[in-house]
Amino acid sequence: MAPNGVANEVPNGKLVKADDTNHNTEIVEAWLSKFDETLKKQDIEHLVTLFDEEECFWRDLTAFTWNLYTAESRDEIAAMMKSTLAETKPSGWKIDSPVQEMDGILSVFLRFETAVGRGRGYLRLRGGKCWTLLTAMTELKGHEEPLGRERPLGVKDGNIPGRKTWYQTRLEEIQDLGYKTQPYVVIIGGGQAGIILAARLRMLKVPTIIIEKNARPGDSWRSRYESLCLHDAVWFDHLPYIPFPSNWPVFSPKDKMGDWLEAYVNLMEINYWSSTACQSASYNEGKGEWEITMERASVSGNETIQLRPKHLVLATGMSGFPNVPEFPGAETFDGLQCHSSQFKTGEEWAGKQCVVIGSNTSAHDICTDLWESGAASVTMVQRSSTHVLKVGACVENMARDGYGEGGPPVDDCDLKFASLPYKIFPRFAIPAMQQIAKEQAPFYEGLTKAGFVLDWGDDGSGLLANDGTELPADLIVYATGYGNMNQWAVKLISQEVADKVGPCWGLGSGTTNDPGPWERELRNMWKPTKQEGLWFMGGNLQQCRHFSLPLALQIKTRMEGIPTLVHGLPSVKHST
């Protein structure tokens, strides 16, 4: 979650005088005028003096760098500008919201243009200098999404011999794409990540096919354990173009979420190949295209199909394959052992002895299900300390960041959320966690008293033991997580390509399970990789909603032959 109070940048309990508001606006306008002037002159030496010398950040989402990249000092901002400014040609910088003030920091939304697109930004000034700046491309000139006043008419005036209905046109597309014509993009994985990206690409007129092994869209949710519900509130989870209705529950049950995704696929006219398994994928360097072999079920039997897209997106979930620990004696255990991904319901374990290995979200859900279903005993085995936040605290944090009933547009919340660089995120998250720990001390004391080992992350932002105890068990559930998403590149493409692109997720923060070096942005997610034409798409619903747009725009520019000089990934070459 966003740190407590970061996005809610208004004075707490204080009235702001009109004179103060006007003065703050004048400060921002003066800074923005100088910023615009130096950019037009490409006066990089003067430009960097507008940024705080002690600490400054410029985070860019494809507008300048055709990458997700954060410059973390004046020198790095200068290097980024030397690489991108001449081609980007930014202009038209305008304030796009009232200026807010908190603790002497002025913050405001911006709008701007580049040579090929339009964007939005978020600026924080400290002492008259830029502390943080976010720039994000939101649309390509000449390739705008058909939304609002730009929506399609739906019918053509006049008498047109041989006119095709919407249904006939749509059916023709479904029958032709992948057979008579090749998709520009193939997405492997038909869960939320693949579906949301496909919707973005559909709006940008990029021919796309989703490949999904399950029988229906949404089955990736329906197949999970029966008691599963989302732990993020509905205001955080809206899908682009079609938000959840106002009567949608705060926390979505997994089958209801599956139904929503299936309906979304139909309403957004997404080309979705269900009951289709990818067998292999390889990149043809000479042709600049992928060769993907898959097996697709049909009424006449399975058929083998080869697709040749320019781009391949792995949207196979946030993680890789299930982690199952190797315990001595597991091979002689007479009961049932399964990973949490295989567990369905506690109903069949009434009166039985049950053990769950692990102590995170899935472990708690499964233990609760088993207990409510009448298991004789349910034991959670905690192998290491766990960071725990009550759902209520998460919802309160969302509300502070604007995600809530009657809050700002969700795109504004996403932009503000993204405007805080990862480097300084812990600085704000730690006090938030400390406040939660104080406010909910009895809750955490109760957990500790029960023997639960807590932590607040390695840095305070968010133990294997054996005492000889033996537990009788009919069921052992391994709620032990998953491997890295990169494992799918190994399975579907090759070990060579997987090694070339490296792992997904993580920042190189130097904390447990996230070794350095520092990466500035999440590894490989939603941005160019070291394998041409290969992209990774994943995350929770908020991440998928927000980062699907920059990823879709990166792919669209390549389809249209727009030059995309990637900054921050110099070893990667790209072709259209």
- Domain-embedded: residue 493: yes
Same domain, 196 and 279: yes
Q: Residue 304 is encoded by which pair of tokens?
A: 């083998």
Domain stops at, among 442, 463, 478: 478
Q: Which of 12-16, 443-447, 494-498 has the lowest mean pLDDT?
A: 12-16
Q: Is residue 415 assigned to a domain? A: no
Q: Is residue 336 in some structural domain? A: yes
Give residue 1's pLDDT: 37
With 50 as the cut, is the pLDDT of residue 57 above it?
Answer: yes
* 316 and 172 fall within a common domain: yes
Query: The CATH number of the domain where 190 resides is what?
Result: 3.50.50.60
Please tell me the least confidently modeled range out of 45-49, 126-130, 138-142, 512-516.
Answer: 512-516
Which range is least confidently modeled, 312-321, 458-467, 518-527? 458-467
In this model, does residue 199 exceed pLDDT 70?
Answer: yes
CA dist 565 and 548 (Å) reads: 20
Q: Read off φ and ψ for residue 149, nearest 5 degrees.
A: -65, -15
Residue 174 shares a structural domain with residue 234: yes
- Asked whether residue 280 falls in the same domain as residue 350, the answer is no
- 334 and 215 in one domain? no
Q: How confident is the model at residue 455 (pLDDT cuts 50, 70, 90)?
A: low
pLDDT reported for residue 12:
37
Q: Which helix (H) or strand (E) holds 548?
A: helix 541-559
Q: Domain with 441 in it: what CATH number? A: 3.50.50
The pair of three-digit structure tokens given for residue 214, joined into one six-digit string:
């399950």
Residue 213 lies in a domain: yes
Residues 455 and 537 in one domain: no
Q: What is the 3-state secondary structure (H, E, C) of 119-135?
A: EEEEEEEECCEEEEEEE
Are residues 336 and 379 both part of a single domain?
Answer: yes
pLDDT of 91 over the 60 cut: yes
In a domain, 9, yes or no: no
Question: Which residues lie across from 57 on neighbouring strands?
Answer: 132
Mean pLDDT of 67-85: 97
Nearest to 118 by CA among 559, 542, 549: 549
Contacts of 336 (CB under 8 A, 6+ apart): 474, 475, 476
Instruction: Check whether residue 369 and residue 230 sit in a common domain.
Output: no
- Identify whether 315 is part of a domain: yes
- Residues 535-561, mean pLDDT to the nearest whole number: 97
Q: What pLDDT does 13 receive? A: 36
SS (HEC) of 355-390: EEECCCHHHHHHHHHHHHCCCCEEEEECCCCECCCC
Number of structural domains found in the chain: 3
170 with 313, same domain?
yes
**Which of 441, 457, 478 marks a domain boundary?**
478
Q: Is 569 among the domain residues?
A: no
Q: Distance between CA 488 and CA 498 in Å, rounded? A: 8
Q: Is residue 246 part of a domain?
A: yes
Backbone angles phi, psi at 109, to 5 degrees: -80, 150
- The enclosing domain of 94 has a CATH number of 3.10.450.50
Angle, CA of 163, 164 and 165, to the nearest 5°: 120
Shared domain for 370 and 301, answered yes or no, is no
User: Do both 38 and 113 map to the same domain?
Assistant: yes
Query: DSSP assignment of 277-306, as one string?
Result: EEEEEEEETTTTEEEEEEEE--TT--EEEE
Range(s) of the domain holding residue 91: 18-140
80, 127: one domain: yes
- The edge-to-edge listing of strands for the beta sheet with 475-478 is 336-339, 475-478, 353-357, 377-381
pLDDT at 386: 66
pTM greater than 0.75: yes
pLDDT, average across residues 527-553: 97
The percent of residues above 90 in pLDDT, for the chain, comes to 70
pLDDT band at 441 (very low <50, low <70, confident <90, very high): confident
